[in-house]
Amino acid sequence: TEFATSTVLTIAHRLDTVLDADRILVFDQGRLAQCDTPAALIGAGAGIFYELCHEGGYLDKMVVPPQH
């Protein structure tokens, strides 16, 4: 695609917008709280991003590889 070699910063209020992102940065009160792939953030089973996905019903839509 035309953005294959670009960095795109997306500020989103809807999780649908970022679930396919390579990396997600979660800010809380202006400070970086989490930074990782969507799968890793959900696979952790806790945290701000996980809770947002849980509350929004997105956990069933994500395929998360098992953690070793």
The model's pTM? 0.80
Total structural domains in the chain?
Answer: 1
Contact 26, 33 (CB under 8 A): yes
Is 24's pLDDT higher than 70?
A: yes
Higher confidence at residue 60 or residue 17?
Answer: 17
Tabulate helix, strand, coil % of the chain (nearest 5): 30, 15, 55
Q: Can you tell me the mean pLDDT for 39-44?
A: 92
Q: Can you tell me the mean pLDDT for 36-54?
A: 94
Is 64's pLDDT higher than 70?
A: no
Q: Can you tell me the mean pLDDT for 41-67?
A: 85
Contact 53, 15 (CB under 8 A): yes
**Residue-range definition of the domain harbouring residue 64:** 1-68
Mean pLDDT score across all residues of the chain: 88
